[in-house]
Amino acid sequence: MRLLLVEDEPQMADALTAALSRYDIIVDHAATLAIAEDAARDNVHDVIVLDRQLPDGDGLSLILHLRSIGSKTPVIVLTAQGTVADRVHGLDRGADDYLAKPFAVEELLARVRALLRRPPTMNALVVRIGALEFSLDSREVFVNGKPLELPRRELLVLEALVRRQGRTVLRSALEEAVYNFDDEIQSNALDSHVSRLRRKLVETDAGVTIHSMRGVGYLMRPAC
Ligand code: CA
């Protein structure tokens, strides 16, 4: 078995590598997200053990990257941030398992074995258009790999457009996606959500355009 260990603390990395090697596991070590992305590209690992706090960012972004390139390699996230909210967040982002530090190597091994018994997971629900990535699981948006925070209604508009990319989404469908039954909808509110969203996508160079189909709805596609 070949395992990719993404961990920046040398002591922790050495101890884990030594312990895992005793069980005939080949360990490739990456100390940064950038090295891990390179190492994961060849898709030769059976499992990835991923620390969250890395010098060049949150380890969870590696998962989104992996899933966006079609990798289904299972990921166990290691973290000192072991609160329920952290675990839920990690699992929502596509982690297959979560292990809070400190832990016994035996427990890590047991979880690795359990994961390898599972059938490969479904294709991750990440939609890519231009430089935009939208996680349908967690509703997180990345542009050129950087998170894009959006107010709730703009996010819901974007989700509806992303799910039907290349097709016209009727105004009524967008309004249903954005508003509860109880909300009072102002006639131009949808258009202002769309124009704010459109401006942010242009500003961040997302490589997508939102076309207005006058009176009918909107359509999203990659910018030419
Ligand atoms: Ca760390």
The structure tokens 């289904």 sit at 72
What's at 138, amino acid-wise?
A: S
Ligand 1 centroid–CA 53 distance in Å is 4
Coil, strand or helix at 218: strand
Coil, strand or helix at 167: coil
Ligand 1 centroid–CA 169 distance in Å is 43
- Using pLDDT thresholds of 50, 70 and 90, give the confidence band for residue 122: very low
Tell me the pLDDT tens digit for each residue of 137-183.
Answer: 778 899 988 999 999 889 989 998 998 888 889 998 888 778 766 66
Does 132 score more than 80 pLDDT? yes
Q: Which of 71-75, 107-111, 134-138 has the lowest mean pLDDT?
A: 134-138
Ligand 1 centroid–CA 204 distance in Å is 29
Measure CA 206 to chain center: 17
Tell me the pLDDT tens digit for each residue of 27-47.
Answer: 899 999 999 999 888 777 889
Token pair belonging to 32: 């940064």
Ligand 1 centroid–CA 93 distance in Å is 18
Domains of the chain: 2-116 (3.40.50.2300), 126-222 (1.10.10.10)
Strand partners, 127: 134
Q: What percent of the chain has pLDDT over 70?
A: 93
Query: What is the C-alpha R_g of the chain?
Result: 20
Token pair belonging to 109: 């091994």
The CA distance from 52 to 6, in Å, is 9
Ligand 1 centroid–CA 35 distance in Å is 14
Nearest Cα residue to 204 out of 138, 142, 128, 127: 142
Coil, strand or helix at 217: strand
What pLDDT, on a 0 to 100 scale, did the predictor assign at position 192? 93
Better-scored residue on pLDDT, 185 or 112: 112
The CA distance from 116 to 144, in Å, is 32
Note whether 204 and 144 are within 8 A (CB): yes
